[in-house]
Amino acid sequence: MSTASQIPRNSIIWLLLAQLVVILPHTGRMSWWMIAIWLLCALWRMAMFRGEASYPGRAVRGVLVMLGSIGVAVSFGSVGGLDFAVALLILAFSLKLIEVRTRRDMFLVFNLALFIVAASFLFSQSVFLALYQIGSIVLIFTAMVATQHALHNRAPLLSLRKSLRLVAQAVPVMLLFFLVFPRIPPIWSVPTSGGGAGTGMSDSIEPGDIAKLNQSSKLAFVVEFESTRPPSIEMYWRGITLEDFDGRKWSAADSAVSVGDRSRREELTEQIELYGVPLRYTLIVEPTKKNWLFALPVAQLQTDADRAGMKGIFYTADYNLRKRTPLSERSELKVESYLDYRADWTLSQQARKNNLRLPRRSNPRARSLAQQMYARTGSTEQFVLAMQRYFLEKDFFYTLEPPELGRHTVDEFVFDTRKGYCEHYANAFAFMLRAAGVPARVVVGYQGGEVNPHNNTLSVRQLDAHAWLEYWQAGEGWLRLDPTYTVAPERINFGLEGALARRPELGASRLSPLYLRNLAMIKSVRLRLDAINHSWQRWVVNFDASQQRRVFERLMGSADPWKLGLIVAGVLGAMLALLSFIILRPGAKDTRSPEHKLYRRFCRKMQKRLQLRRGKAETPLAFAARIAAQAPQCAEQADAITRQYMQIAYAGESGLKQFKRSVERFRPRRPAS
Amino acid sequence: MSGITPISKDAAKFEPAAAPAALQKCVAEVGKVLLGKQDQIRMALCCLLARGHLLIEDLPGMGKTTLAHALGDALGLEYRRIQFTSDMLPADVLGTSIFKRDSGEFQFVEGPIFTQLLLADEINRTTPKTQSALLEAMEEKQVSIDGVTRPLPEPFFVIATQNPGSQSGTYALPESQLDRFLMRIEVGYPGHDAEREMLRAGLGEQHRKPVSQQMGLEQLFALQKQVDIQKVSDTLLDYLQRLVDYSRSNPDFAYGLSPRGALALLQSAKAAALLENRAHVIPEDVQAVLPWVAAHRLAPAGGTMSGALGLVAQMLDSVDVL
């Protein structure tokens, strides 16, 4: 191998470091054995570095590639999918380590590294990852620079310095492109990663589902209110109404989505009256891979957001927001909600039937209790009050760890265990209302949220998931009823975490991470970091075509394409001009003696007129000799000027004036042809 | 080797060659026995004028000894030669005190180092202990034995020869010791014509032509003093410092030129200017001596490849003269 293609040793060390840093953010998605493979390759490479091992043979590499690929396929269960692709990429990246021989090979590895860095943003776009990956890029560039240094360069930090300078120089260009580069909607869709299931709402619940959900502190969405924030008790983030009950499970009726999808908000006013001033806010929704959106009832898109291309969103018959395609990326919605409303004051026969339907022979005890109570009270209003009173008096208990229930969930809950979580109460109330002949349905969504004092946003997490119900009263329409509030008002007033802090007996031993989250110091740091990340999401990640247009409109009045083009060309041109000026500035280094400047002038004249350029290492005398040989017509003058210069610059003699005159008078003649 | 300096020929054109007649004659006289090696002879003289010591590195039989011997004869210097071997002790070089039975006293017997021109032949054949005894004496210009310090004669000029380190049975001089030599030159194979002439005349150690003395001690001292007062302009010092800085900042160099190296470069350039019969130093002088002053003080980063001369060439090419 020629020394020209050999890889400098520093570069290998930097590469190993860069690989470690690049792979690290992906370790959560990788199997342990993949990390082992990388370690093996790294150790092997180190052994090669120290001359203790040689390159693996073709057979060894082949076996490693085969086993690795099969391992990845087995580990990820399927071929295809994002996780699988990234894992395969990382495997190749690791194995390449024991294969690189020449500088050219190294560049393949660097490209892979950059690609893996880019791939990490498919999984997270937080500001912390972004900062981390800037570090990764610096390291990759360092290894790249080191590849170009001398084979035995002993100054590894020199590469780092150069790489830092490179990245720093790229920052203004990056900012410019961030601002002006057209935001093209994705041409292909990224396959969804398999890890999405498990967290997030589903469109059916049975007892225990929400309690499970509540153990995750994963973010569901963030809210920015334009004016004052409503009190916690008003914040019921409504998402899905569940009408079908099979005796155990409540699920969304297909009809709710397919019938009466309305994509224009005018149609919303058919069976609904909205009062007062709407509450305006922005929702920043985490990707759920689901269609539903959560908002305060009754919500509609703000008009300008409507125009700004929030397409594919429609209103369901039960006044929820839906997206036609699953939410695969974080999105921003500008929403306004009328908290004061009257909906569906008349109920169609079909709807009435749907919301009264109960499985026969299900929960007989609760059914008869409800019918007795209704008979005693006589009106829906009084019946609901009586139910609430019943649940208060009978010593019902709110707990995160309710006992398991058998076939007749409502019966067992109401008469035996009396320990339940929000879905137990919603389940029991809805059932009993229906049993008594009052149309009712279960609603799932989120309740409350955590206020971040640093940026005044509200974070709603999975642990805020909640279930309540709505019943229908003639003339009033659908009314919200939250039995949890009756039993455990602190859950609603202070949120789940607040309730746990006040009443540890709620059974939070399994939720100890939740306690940790709320230790004063950790909480304040966490909220601060959340605020930073939120601003990042808001202003950087979500900087889309419409925001871009807004920025330009603010800067220049309008955002015509030609203006954008002009800005890009202008700024790039200005940067290039600045660079060229710095590099090519005439007489850039001439801060020295006058005779030096004069001699340079002589050289410039020679170059301009006769294309004779003094080489860097060429002394004045040698230059004069060359002039004599190549342009004899100037030999005499050039010789005289050189002689004068030498006398002044080296012998320390005077005669600057004369020298100046000679240089000024000097006109290199072209050869007489 | 492509001649020591092609550029100095231009300099010679420019300033008519009218170096002090004695110096020119010296070169010519030594040139009679070492054919076709004008440049090496000039560098050796240059080294002597700058009060430095000279290291000649080449394969055996290239005329190292001939050059040293002829130079001593031409300058009329007292000449001695030490052939270094691996069993030599410092006392064999410096001298030793011997007990005289008749007077009952110790008497110091001077070693071969007490001379004006010392040829230290094959210095890398002897042990580091003996090497360092010689090199210390070179640096101090005096010898201390049994608590008595004895000055060495004036002038004191050492021409050491060494075989390239890759030859077997040698102790390579460490970098710190190499630094004691102002210059390191190579003699190199003779040109075709020069070799033919040598073969025809049957020149060799055995039948060396007599070299006649061209210069007295007084004259030599005067020339050495003249070197010290050569005119050096700021423009030239700028160039010299740019060269030194380049060697320190470029990653291809394992380490840069030391301040002592910079001084050596300047002193040699001054002597080279005197050889050209010029009272001021010009860039050509620096370029002429740079390879021989700098190469043995530099090493490429990594140190495994020999190529210090390549580094110097890179330095010359990359650093702007003005």
Number of residues assigned to chain B: 322
The pLDDT value given to residue B281: 93
Number of residues assigned to chain A: 673
Query: In this complex, do A153 and B233 lie within 8 Å of one another by their Cβ atoms?
Result: no
- pLDDT, tens digit, 9 for 90 and up, residues A146-155: 888 766 666 7
For residues A307 and A327, give the distance between their C-alpha atoms in angstroms, rounded to a whole number.
19
Phi, psi angle pair for A511, to nearest 5°: -105, 25
Query: Is A357 part of the contact surface with chain B (CB cutoff 8 Å)?
Result: no
Nearest to A652 among B231, B305, B322 (CB): B231
Q: What angle do helix axes A364-377 and A422-435 make, rounded to 10 degrees? A: 60
- pLDDT, tens digit, 9 for 90 and up, residues A313-322: 777 777 888 8
Name the residue among B48, B136, B65, B123 with its Cα closest to residue B94.
B136
Nearest to B321 among A158, A617, A624 (CB): A617
Nearest to A150 among B13, B281, B301 (CB): B301
The SS3 call for residue B27 is: helix
For residues A43 and A31, give the distance between their C-alpha atoms in angstroms, rounded to a whole number.
19
- pLDDT, tens digit, 9 for 90 and up, residues A239-282: 888 888 888 888 887 654 543 445 544 455 567 778 888 888 98
The pLDDT value given to residue B239: 92
Q: Which residues of B touch A593 (CB under 8 A)?
A: 234-235
A174-177, Cβ contacts within 8 angstroms, sequence gap of 24 or more: A176/A568, A176/A571, A176/A572
Residue entry with tokens 């394409």:
A561
Mutate to test the interface with B, among A149, A602, A619, A646 (most CBs of B within 10 A): A619
For residues A244 and A253, give the distance between their C-alpha atoms in angstroms, rounded to a whole number.
6
Q: Between the CA atoms of B189, B193, B197 and B198, what dihedral angle is there, to the nearest 10 degrees? A: 0
- pLDDT, tens digit, 9 for 90 and up, residues A187-217: 665 555 444 444 567 778 877 788 777 777 7
Name the DSSP letter for residue A309.
Answer: T
Structure tokens belonging to residue B144: 């201390």
Calculate what percentage of chain A has a pLDDT beyond 90: 10
For residues B56 and B287, give the distance between their C-alpha atoms in angstroms, rounded to a whole number.
19
The pLDDT value given to residue A188: 63
Mean residue pLDDT across chain A: 81
Name the residue among A357, A393, A402 with its Cα closest to residue A373.
A393
Q: Which residues of A touch B300 (CB under 8 A)?
A: 150, 152
All structural domains of chain A with their residue ranges: 3-180, 349-440+469-512, 552-584, 594-665
Name the residue among A280, A286, A261 with its Cα closest to residue A126.
A286
Q: Which residues of A touch B251 (CB under 8 A)?
A: 149-150, 153-155, 158
Query: In this complex, do A599 and B322 lie within 8 Å of one another by their Cβ atoms?
Result: yes
Q: Which residues of B touch A617 (CB under 8 A)?
A: 287, 316-321
Measuring CA to CA, how many Å separate B174 from each of A51, A555, B260, B301? 27, 69, 16, 17
The pLDDT value given to residue B11: 36
For residues B316 and B69, give the distance between their C-alpha atoms in angstroms, rounded to a whole number.
33
Residue entry with tokens 């009173």:
A389
Alpha helices by DSSP H, A278-421: 303-307, 349-354, 364-377, 380-393, 409-411
For residues A404 and A451, give the distance between their C-alpha atoms in angstroms, rounded to a whole number.
34
Sign, CA torsion A482/A483/A484/A485: positive
Cβ B319 vs Cβ B243: under 8 Å: yes
For residues A55 and A348, give the distance between their C-alpha atoms in angstroms, rounded to a whole number.
78
Task: Give the active site residues of A.
Answer: 422, 466, 482
- Which of A104-113, A258-267, A541-550, A580-589 has the highest mean predicted lDDT (pLDDT)? A104-113
Does pTM surpass 0.80?
no
Phi, psi angle pair for A339, to nearest 5°: -70, -25
The pLDDT of A520-544, averaged and rounded, is: 81
Cβ A421 vs Cβ A400: under 8 Å: yes
Cβ A83 vs Cβ A193: under 8 Å: yes
Structure tokens belonging to residue A543: 């900087």
For residues B321 and A518, give the distance between their C-alpha atoms in angstroms, rounded to a whole number.
70
Higher-pLDDT residue of A461, A260 = A461
For residues A299 and A265, give the distance between their C-alpha atoms in angstroms, rounded to a whole number.
10
CATH 1.10.8.80 is held by the domain B230-318: yes
Query: In this complex, do A152 and B300 lie within 8 Å of one another by their Cβ atoms?
Result: yes
The SS3 call for residue A485 is: helix
- pLDDT, tens digit, 9 for 90 and up, residues A417-449: 888 888 888 989 999 999 998 999 999 999 888
For residues A179 and A338, give the distance between their C-alpha atoms in angstroms, rounded to a whole number.
36
pLDDT at A98 over 70: yes
Name the residue among B82, B242, B260 with its Cα closest to residue B161.
B82
Q: Which residues of A touch B287 (CB under 8 A)?
A: 617, 619
Higher-pLDDT residue of A20, A513 = A20
Alpha helices by DSSP H, B18-95: 21-33, 38-49, 64-75, 90-94
For residues B48 and B43, give the distance between their C-alpha atoms in angstroms, rounded to a whole number.
9
Q: Which CATH number fits domain B14-219: 3.40.50.300, 3.40.190.10, 3.30.950.10, 3.30.930.10?
A: 3.40.50.300
Phi, psi angle pair for A547, to nearest 5°: -65, -40
The pLDDT value given to residue A517: 64
Mutate to test the interface with A, among B5, B15, B235, B237 (most CBs of A within 10 A): B235
Cβ B259 vs Cβ B308: under 8 Å: no
Name the DSSP letter for residue A346.
Answer: S
For the residues of A89-110, what is the DSSP string, one character each?
Answer: HHHHHHHHTTT--BHHHHHHHH
Three-state SS string across B96-121, please? Answer: EEEEECCCCEEEEEECCCCCCEEEEE
pLDDT at B14 over 50: no
Minimal C-alpha gap between A175 and chain B (Å): 33
Alpha helices by DSSP H, A405-507: 409-411, 422-435, 483-487, 489-502
Taking phi first (over 0 means left), then psi (-120 to 50 degrees means alpha), and beta for anything else, what does residue A283 get?
beta
Sign, CA torsion A11/A13/A16/A22: negative
Nearest to A650 among B10, B233, B319 (CB): B233
Query: In this complex, do B280 and A652 lie within 8 Å of one another by their Cβ atoms?
Result: yes
For the residues of A122-184, what is the DSSP string, one character each?
Answer: TT---HHHHHHHHHHHHHHHHHHHHHTS-TT-S-HHHHHHHHHHHHHHHHHHHHHHHHHS--P
pLDDT at A185 over 50: yes
pLDDT at B8 over 60: no
Cβ A322 vs Cβ A316: under 8 Å: yes
- pLDDT, tens digit, 9 for 90 and up, residues B91-144: 888 888 888 888 888 888 888 889 899 988 888 888 888 888 888 888 888 888
For residues A510 and A105, give the distance between their C-alpha atoms in angstroms, rounded to a whole number.
52
Q: In which band, very low, low, confident or very high, does the pLDDT at B13 lie, cut at 50, 70 and 90?
A: very low
- Which of A27-31, A252-256, A259-263, A548-552 has the highest mean predicted lDDT (pLDDT)? A27-31
Name the residue among A349, A317, A352 with its Cα closest to residue A438.
A352
All structural domains of chain B with their residue ranges: 14-219, 230-318
